[in-house]
Structure 1
């Protein structure tokens, strides 16, 4: 029993550390927000990190393979733009708002999947570094978005925001909580337990060993980036539900924010170690810290500086954990 507990601790201690930090930040946040325990307070708190949650899920999947996706923010912006640009015309053409919403969401999810697939194929078959490919495609995605909507505009059908980000009556449960459960229970856990999920971890741990063991490395990587694109599309859809407009440049910060959240949640940038469960803690921690900075009236310049310091601290912790792991392996 003790051996099993030690094994569980060794596999999840980074995530546990992330939840310890999250708990401290949540306590600080609650003490600063007098209306936190009201229906509005809980809903607004969960709503503020939904977009980052799915962007961080996309980043987690990619980082677990040993890569990194610098196009996350731009792809969220593109799918946000396409949702706001297409929804009303499609709804009018079909003569039904809800049918228009459904078709629009399918189109946007397909756009996200295609964009992610392009990233993956360029990396795998072009034999290029993920950081270079995704940096290049981030400019392409942003450029396409700016061509479609040169400035924040577009619109959504009536009731779309309530449909996606409202509350469930009569319990007044925020739908953002349901989106959190969807990300963990419907997306992450099935992925983690699948053959595909095991292959992702194996590739991140040692790509050559994964190939020798019979894993189709190229197919798994392309599929990973495709799924990351779908997650970014979900984030873009939720962002549209919150803002009701499209803005291709309004999501630039999600790329670095997603990396920071992933690292705060204990996922190793070298790949093969970590989980989205830890990333959830990182997302909540990072989002609440940013919320506190706004609530305290901190100047935007200092907010950017603090965000940078958080990212540096998270990277330093990640590096120390990696050094400790190497020390134990060579001991």
Structure 2
């Protein structure tokens, strides 16, 4: 399929790199494509960024049939623009689509469309270290119908957003709060899909954590409320007895692209990793006996985010006096070095545009 392009007549002012926040400023153009049973995915186009016109009865507004992804484009010192693991993102996108009864995409064409959009918007990719172009592909159900069933029609779109650091703390350690009262996902649910409802369900506990002075919520399993699963916007890792431990994927944990990147990089560096169930009781005991040396999260937005404080009920675990540890620092340097084209990429994660 060809991709027609309609240029904006009202270009936006591009923000300075030092004024970038996260998720608030968008580029001039977006990619759209629609689905109908008789046509399949059709009518791909790049058009000026703008509003959608949807009837109040649109299915996504009532039943939440929506999925999304998040990835980034980076500008190297030489001025090249490169994507980080985009094929993996679109493969996960299709897994989410299947779980949410949404027609799957041709991942090769989706990647081609993304690259064409980024080429058009190349001047929006910031160049300062620590900045990037955040990419948000999404699909929403568009049937004008009130009834609990899968939609017959859909819209796929990609929007772009120049961004700075996700957390105000930057790479400085964040504080996370373990909720005992709420759960993010349960076995057999949609926890491993990147679907809108998962994030809506997390908001109440996140607001509560922030009122208590914590950056993010650490979720426990939905059955026993004992085992660590993930943080609101990150997968979680602990370094215990010199082993990097992360919860195993179990159907209710998002299979993070950066999570996999951390595991592959750690093995490449000769570090020991373990994917298994890990309880908060074990974390607390490891903190008490000194075997818990650091903790950190991983995700597209922040890449690596050290954890300085964990609150679990009345217990407050402080790690490394609130400073980043050597393993999280090494992983951050190695992964971002590849993303910005400063280090060799033996894994073939980067795709240049």
TM-score (norm 2): 0.25
The one of the two structures with greater contact order (alpha-carbon pairs below 8 A, sep at least 6) is 1
TM-score (norm 1): 0.26
Instruction: Choose between structure 1 and 2: higher strand proportion.
Output: 2
